[in-house]
Amino acid sequence: MSKDRAILGAVREYRLDGNELWVDCGDPHMRVTFLKPELVRVRIVPGGDFAPQHSWDVTKPDQEFKVIPLELQQTQHALFLNSSAFTVRVDKDTALVEMLTPDGKSFFADLISPVWEDDHYWFTKRMEENEYYYGFGERGGQMEKHGQTMRNWTTDPVQPQGAFVDPMYIAIPAYLALRKDIAYGVFVNCTQDSKFDLSYPGELRFEAKGEELDVYIAFGPQPMDVLSQLSDLLGKMPLPPKWALGYHQSRWSYGNEQVVSQIAKTFREKEIPCDVIHLDIDYMDGYRVFTWDEERFPDPKEMAESLADNGFHLVTIIDPGVKVDKQYAVYEDGVEKEMFIRNAKGKLVSGFVWPDESVFPDFSRKDVRIWWGKWQNRLKANGVSGIWNDMNEPVVFEKPFSQGGGRGENLPLDSIQGPPEEQTTHAVLHNLYGSQMAQASYEGLRHFKPNERAFHLSRSGFAGIQKWSASWMGDNGSCWEHLELSVRQLINMGLSNVPFVGADIGGFFGNATPELFARWMQIGALYPFSRGHTCSGTEPHEPWVFGEEVENIVRDSLKLRYQLLPYLYSVFQRASEKGYPIWRGLFLHYPEDINTYHISDQVLIGKYLMVAPILHPGQRARQVYLPAGTWYDWWEGTRYEGGRYILAEAPLNRMPMYARAGAIIPMSPAMQYTSEKAIDPLTLVCYPDEDGHFKLYEDDGISYDYLQGKSCFTSCQIHSDEKNVFITIAAREGDYQIPERKLVVVLRDGRQYQQKTIKDIGLAQEIHFDRN
């Protein structure tokens, strides 16, 4: 790239070629490509030398979108490229770009020209009045991001979490912008080191290494529509196995088979629901990936089978670093097949991690991902059900772990990566490393067991990580501040198109107090990904170690999660189909209510359930905002009119929770694990006074047969007036067969509790309740 400074100039010439407008702006050239009526791509590069498509691109290729009708208009001052949803305006004198709604409102408008200088560029957008910004991947600070500067660089941070801890493990250069009448989303297609700066009044600035400015803009006008459009671009979460929606128990580390067996036994004896036990790094032989310590885990297959007999799945951690050891088969095989990253001189790049000196696979290459998957399948053959990818920013220590490790560092940024025909540097692919490792993990298990859904968890990732893995927020601490932060983080991750997310319940570093653990478990039991995890050297954090009162609270919290699984699984299915979040900020469903724009201590789970966790010690009541409409207290059934704040009682054993009027919440019997028994009876808990509907989704929960139509939907509707409530259940649709079962229909209207039990054989029926 030229080191001369470049900016946009006047439009010299232009042409419309199918879905794409080409514009000559002097030195820079611009391409404006409508991929869908609601989704446009804008690319600008000095000299007009646009980058080719890369094998590592996270976006859906342009050619896979259908051609759509467009209209190009011009005036003396501007070009207008119109889709059926919105317009792109290019000023003829300056080539500045702005988007226009159908009624002419401006959004995502250039404030000044983008600038290219030396090895980087930046663009500056005008912040519209009363516009708010969310998403940006994994961040500290407040939910709404005015005033923050956020770097996109996958990092194992020195400090565990916090308002000013940035960057963090996951880098997603995407955001949702919202004002009362407009919602739009932005993805900046840049894998190199970059940052968003929202700290200057009236300006949103993006600065990055590299040359080509490449931005996608998705128009709503509703915020849920924006997220769906961006998911069409960045990919959607595959439906996880149902057991992965159960509770996960973890620690660094459960040191041997006997400890693991005892943990599992205690869960069952105490009747605390749990589906998954995780093994951290100490199960390995000297931290060598794909091995087992033969003294502490002499028969992992038998251990996994014993766990499975009791309803548990086993998940093992894997790191990318492969120990340099000529007696170690993975290392020797990788060297022979040239699987590891090398520098420009052809020498292996190494760094210190848990097994001390290690080398790192180049996951940007398909052949390396296949190779990794084959080694990983040795774990699957031993009964492992899921893979937990860690340390995959990637991070290396400043000195050997055996000498203390020290703070984390990057691999050399000039290291060579990529397939032979498109080699580049680690500086370009660093942010993608975690996602590509997760891709290797996902594809490897999918190849080994083509019709069995597995579970994958990744600490690091880039935009699109949801296609391969669930994510968690990395190493937090046992403190109230990090409990509160987790709510904001998970909401914003969902707004970044990553719905299957969680945080370490109870905190990773330090020791939770009984009250903190109880409050954390109340909301953590409803995280999309629900796992308790803690660090080596901390006190035990299993649910039964905090005393009888807290144990009962944990049991009740997890019991509720398992009872809600029919509802949650249906919400997950919708997320996999439409790209919607599981956890939702209130503004997603109430964008007309500006009061919701800063509420970050309440969350909608799906559309119909709202929780208001207790996030401060000693608190036994809290203020809760109820958006417009009618709401019902989940525990008492009390009816409230919304559009106002209420004071909610919150004794230690209860977290405020509400159902929206019109809700039909499907529930299962209490279970110790997700496959313990059939959902019989199926209970529908119904809340009247607004019309509503819910589509219950069911399949076998474990295979990919649902992709071939072996699933079923049951559509339920509720209609009510002052005297009557009608629950209409449509005939079940789909090829998945469900045996005859009982259907319990419960009406909660704030005045009385009514219940009717009928037979469910998949036929249409209507249930009537008299409210007199």
Q: Token match 């209609």: residue?
A: 719
Q: Structure tokens of 345?
A: 């001189």
- Which of these, 604, 614, 622, lies nearest to 663 by C-alpha position? 604
Q: What is the pLDDT of residues 277-310, one digit of tens each?
A: 999 999 999 999 999 999 999 999 999 999 999 9
Q: Which of 225, 257, 475, 698 is catalytic?
A: 475
Average pLDDT for 424-447: 98
Contact (CB, 8 A) for 550 and 556: no
The DSSP code for 673 is: S
User: Buried b / exposed e across 239-256, counting CB within 10 Å, b at 16+?
Assistant: bbbbbbbbbbbbbbbbbb
Q: Structure tokens of 417?
A: 């990566």
Average pLDDT for 247-259: 97
Average pLDDT for 475-490: 98
Q: Token match 């600038």: residue?
A: 115
From CA 323, how far away is CA 330, in angstroms rounded? Answer: 9
Cα separations in angstroms, 281 against 276, 680, 698: 17, 40, 36
DSSP string, 585-646: -GGGT-TT-GGGGG--S-EEETTTEEE----STT--EEEEEE-SSEEEETTT--EEESSEEE
Q: Structure tokens of 57?
A: 């691109």
Q: What is the pLDDT of residues 132-183, one digit of tens each?
A: 999 999 999 999 999 999 999 999 998 889 998 999 999 999 999 999 999 9
Q: Which of 98, 257, 393, 749 is catalytic?
A: 393
Q: What is the pLDDT of residues 437-447, one digit of tens each?
A: 999 999 999 99
User: Buried b / exposed e across 696-730, counting CB within 10 Å, b at 16+?
Assistant: bbbbebebbebeeeebbebbbbbbbeeeebebebb
Task: Select from 3.40.50.300, 2.60.40.1180, 1.10.3720.10, 3.50.50.60 the CATH code of 664-770.
Answer: 2.60.40.1180
Average pLDDT for 331-338: 98
Q: Which of 282, 390, 504, 633 is catalytic?
A: 390
What backbone phi and psi angles, to 5 degrees, belong to 296?
-90, -25
Q: Residue 75 class from Cβ within 10 Å (0-12 exposed, 13-18 middle, 19+ buried)?
A: exposed
Average pLDDT for 181-210: 97
**Confidence grade of residue 1 (pLDDT, cut at 50, 70, 90):** very low
From CA 81, how far away is CA 33, in angstroms rounded? Answer: 10
The pLDDT of residue 629: 97
Sequence ranges of the domains in the chain:
6-234, 242-578, 664-770
- Which of these, 124, 143, 127, lies nearest to 135 by C-alpha position? 143
Q: Is position 475 annotated as part of the catalytic site?
A: yes
**Confidence grade of residue 407 (pLDDT, cut at 50, 70, 90):** confident
SS (H, E, C) 51-93: CCCCCCCCCCCHHHCCCCCCEEEECCCEEEEECCCCEEEEECC
Contact (CB, 8 A) for 546 and 574: no
Q: Structure tokens of 478?
A: 């046992």
The CATH classification number of 6-234 equals 2.60.40.1760
Name the percent of the chain lying above pLDDT 90: 98
- The sheet that has 682-686: what strands, in order across it? 664-667, 682-686, 741-748, 753-760
Instruction: Reply yes or no on whether the pLDDT at 676 is more than 50.
Output: yes
Are 6-234 and 664-770 in the same CATH fold?
yes
Instruction: Reply yes or no on whether the pLDDT at 2 is more than 70.
Output: no
From CA 30, how far away is CA 645, in angstroms rounded? Answer: 49
**Confidence grade of residue 3 (pLDDT, cut at 50, 70, 90):** low
Which residues, 6+ apart, have CB-to-CB distance to 678 below 8 Å? 739, 741
Q: Is position 390 annotated as part of the catalytic site?
A: yes
User: Angle of helix 257-269 relative to helix 300-309, nearest 10 degrees?
Assistant: 0
Q: Is 549 left (phi over 0), alpha (psi -120 to 50) or beta?
A: alpha
- The sheet that has 78-82: what strands, in order across it? 71-74, 78-82, 87-91, 97-100, 106-107
**Confidence grade of residue 772 (pLDDT, cut at 50, 70, 90):** confident
Q: What is the pLDDT of residues 360-395, one digit of tens each?
A: 999 999 999 999 999 999 999 999 999 999 999 999
Please state, as a whole number, how many other Cβ atoms lie within 10 Å of the Cβ of residue 647: 10
Q: What is the pLDDT of residues 583-600, one digit of tens each?
A: 999 999 999 999 999 999
Q: What is the pLDDT of residues 560-586, one digit of tens each?
A: 999 999 999 999 999 999 999 999 999
Which residues, 6+ apart, have CB-to-CB distance to 381 below 8 Å? 301
- Which of these, 623, 611, 557, lies nearest to 584 by C-alpha position? 611
The CATH classification number of 242-578 equals 3.20.20.80
Instruction: Reply yes or no on whether the pLDDT at 520 is more than 80.
Output: yes
DSSP string, 342-410: B-TTSPBPEEEETTEEEE-B-TTSHHHHHHHHHHHHHHHHTT--EEEE-STTT-EESS-GGGT--SEEP
